[in-house]
C-alpha cells in the first residue's frame, strides 16, 4: 500500500516539528509495511507571502486535492503578515475548500505528563472535542461602517446552516455511540446568544432523539470552561461550534499537561477531499528557532492521519511509542514537559521506539 502525503511546514516551530512528525511516520511505514510518498510544499507561510503577496498559489486546490492526506505544521508570523490574513489566506481555505467540517481533538492525560490540575493522574482525563470547522462564528459576513468617525460600527455575523450543524452533530453522536461511556456534551450559550445558540440546542436535542443509547447533555460555554478545569474526568465527547470548540481545544490539552502534545484532525468524513492533520498549537514565535518545541502534537497528529488512511495498527504503535517515551525517558522531554530535551531528541527517541516495538 502506498499513500501520497502533502507536507506543509508553515512558519515558526512548524518548520521544526513537521520533520519530526515525518521521521516517526517513516518509522511507522517501515515497521508496518506500507509506503509514504511525501511531497513538501513551500506555501502557506510568511515567506510565500513576502515573495508572492499571497499565502497560497492560485491553483492550490488542484495542487493539493489529489493527495491522500495533508500533514500540516502551523502558520503565522505576525511581524510579517497579520494573523487574520495568514490564517484566512491558508488554513481556513483548506478547511472550507476541502469541506473538512469536523475538527477532532483528543484530550488525554498521558503517563509521564503532569497535569496542572491537582489530584489528576494518567487515565483521569480522556475525552474528545469535536469542533465545527467550516461555519459558525468564523464567518466573513460583516464589515465596518462610519469608519474613522465616532459612530464607527463593526459587525460580524455568526452563520449556522442546518446541514452544517447537523453533520457535525451526527459525527459527534456517532463517535460517542462507539465509546464505552457513550456520553456527549454539547456546548451552548443560548442564554446570551439568543438566536444562533437556541438553534444549535434545537438541532442537538433533535439529534439526541436518534441516539437513545447516548447520554446527551449540554453546558453553557462559561461553566463548561470552568468544569474542564474542576472536573475534566466527567467528559467523554464534547461537541461545539467553531469558536467555542477552538477555545475548549486549547483549554483541554492545557489541563492535560501542555498544548505541545495536543493533536488534531481536520476531517472530510465524506472523503471527497483530503483531510488535514496538524497539532493544535500555532507557530510559537516566542520559542521558534531554538530547537525546543515539543514535537509530540505533530507526531500524534501523524498517528491520527495513519488511522484515517486505514493503518490502525501503525497508528496505535505511534501512540504507544509516544506514551512509552513520555513515561520512561525523562531525559529527552522538552522544556514544556519539564525536561532538558530538544525537538529532534524527542522526535528521534519516539521514532526509535516505533522501529523497535
Ligand atoms: P501558539 O500555540 O503558537 O503558542 C502559545 C504558547 O504555547 C506559546 O507560549 C508557545 O511557546 C507555547 N507552545 C505552543 N506550541 C508549543 C510546542 N509544540 N512546544 C512547546 N511550547 C509550545 O499560539 P499563539 O502564540 O497564540 O500564536 C502564535 C502564532 O501562531 C500566531 O501567528 C497565530 O495566528 C498562529 N496560530 C496558528 C495556528 C495554526 O496554524 N493552526 C493555530 C494557533 C495559532
Ligand atoms: Mg486554536
Q: Model pTM?
A: 0.95
Q: What is the pLDDT of residues 337-348, one digit of tens each?
A: 999 999 999 999
Weakest mean pLDDT among 111-120, 179-188, 207-216: 111-120
The cell numbers describing 14, all together, are: 512548524
Q: What is the pLDDT of residues 54-69, one digit of tens each?
A: 999 999 999 999 999 9
Instruction: Please name which ligand lies nearest the alpha carbon of 289.
Output: 1
- Rounded CA separation 72/38 (Å): 12
- Are 201 and 258 in contact by the 8 Å Cβ rule? The answer is no
- Rounded CA separation 282/195 (Å): 32
298 closest CA partner among 101, 71, 29: 71
pLDDT of 160 higher than 90: yes
- Are 102 and 269 in contact by the 8 Å Cβ rule? The answer is yes
Q: What is the pLDDT of residues 167-189, one digit of tens each?
A: 999 999 999 999 999 999 999 99
- Rounded CA separation 312/326 (Å): 21
- Rounded CA separation 26/314 (Å): 11
- What is the value of ipTM here, to two decimals? 0.98
CA of 191 from ligand 1 middle (Å) equals 32
The cell numbers describing 232, all together, are: 475534566
Q: Is the CB of 81 under 6 A from ligand 1?
A: no
The residues with which 3 forms a beta bridge, in sequence order, are 36
- Rounded CA separation 6/264 (Å): 16
283 to 9, 11, 166: CA distances (angstroms): 10, 6, 32
Domains of the chain, first to last: 1-110+263-357 (3.40.718.10)
Instruction: Please name which ligand lies nearest the alpha carbon of 296.
Output: 1
The cell numbers describing 321, all together, are: 511509542
The residue whose CA has the least distance to atom 11 of ligand 1 is: 284
Amino acid at each position: 500500500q502506498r499513500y501520497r502525503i502533502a507536507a506543509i511546514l508553515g512558519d515558526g516551530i512548524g518548520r521544526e516539528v513537521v520533520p519530526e512528525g515525518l521521521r516517526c511516520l517513516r518509522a511507522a511505514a517501515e515497521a508496518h509495511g506500507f509506503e509514504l510518498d511525501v511531497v513538501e510544499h513551500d506555501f502557506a507561510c510568511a515567506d510565500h507571502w513576502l515573495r508572492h503577496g499571497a499565502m497560497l498559489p492560485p491553483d492550490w486546490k488542484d495542487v493539493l486535492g489529489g493527495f491522500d492526506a495533508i500533514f500540516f505544521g502551523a502558520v503565522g508570523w505576525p511581524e510579517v503578515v497579520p494573523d487574520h490574513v495568514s490564517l484566512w489566506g491558508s488554513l481556513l481555505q483548506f478547511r472550507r475548500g476541502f469541506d473538512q467540517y469536523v475538527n477532532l481533538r483528543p484530550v488525554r492525560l498521558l503517563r509521564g505528563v503532569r497535569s496542572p490540575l491537582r489530584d489528576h493522574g494518567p487515565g483521569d482525563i480522556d475525552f474528545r472535542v469535536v469542533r465545527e470547522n467550516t461555519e459558525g462564528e468564523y464567518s466573513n459576513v460583516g464589515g465596518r461602517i462610519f469608519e474613522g468617525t465616532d459612530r464607527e460600527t463593526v459587525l460580524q455575523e455568526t452563520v449556522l446552516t442546518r446541514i452544517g450543524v447537523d453533520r457535525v452533530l451526527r459525527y459527534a453522536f456517532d463517535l460517542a455511540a462507539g465509546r464505552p461511556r457513550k456520553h456527549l456534551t454539547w456546548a451552548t450559550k443560548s442564554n446570551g446568544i439568543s438566536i444562533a445558540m437556541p438553534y444549535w440546542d434545537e438541532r442537538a436535542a433533535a439529534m439526541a432523539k436518534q441516539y437513545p443509547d447516548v447520554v446527551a447533555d449540554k453546558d453553557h460555554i462559561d461553566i463548561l470552561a470552568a468544569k474542564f478545569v474542576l472536573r475534566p474526568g466527567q467528559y467523554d465527547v464534547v461537541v461545539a461550534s467553531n469558536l467555542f470548540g477552538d477555545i475548549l481545544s486549547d483549554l483541554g490539552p492545557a489541563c492535560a499537561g501542555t498544548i505541545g502534545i495536543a493533536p488534531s484532525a481536520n476531517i472530510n468524513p465524506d472523503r471527497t477531499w483530503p483531510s488535514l492533520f496538524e497539532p493544535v498549537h500555532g507557530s510559537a514565535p516566542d520559542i521558534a528557532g531554538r530547537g525546543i518545541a515539543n514535537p509530540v502534537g505533530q507526531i500524534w497528529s501523524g498517528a491520527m492521519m495513519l488511522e484515517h488512511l486505514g493503518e490502525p495498527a501503525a497508528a496505535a504503535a505511534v501512540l504507544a511509542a509516544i506514551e512509552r517515551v513520555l513515561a520512561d525517558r525523562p531525559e529527552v522531554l522538552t522544556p514544556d514537559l519539564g525536561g532538558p530535551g530538544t525537538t529532534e531528541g524527542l522526535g528521534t527517541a519516539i521514532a526509535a521506539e516505533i522501529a523497535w516495538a
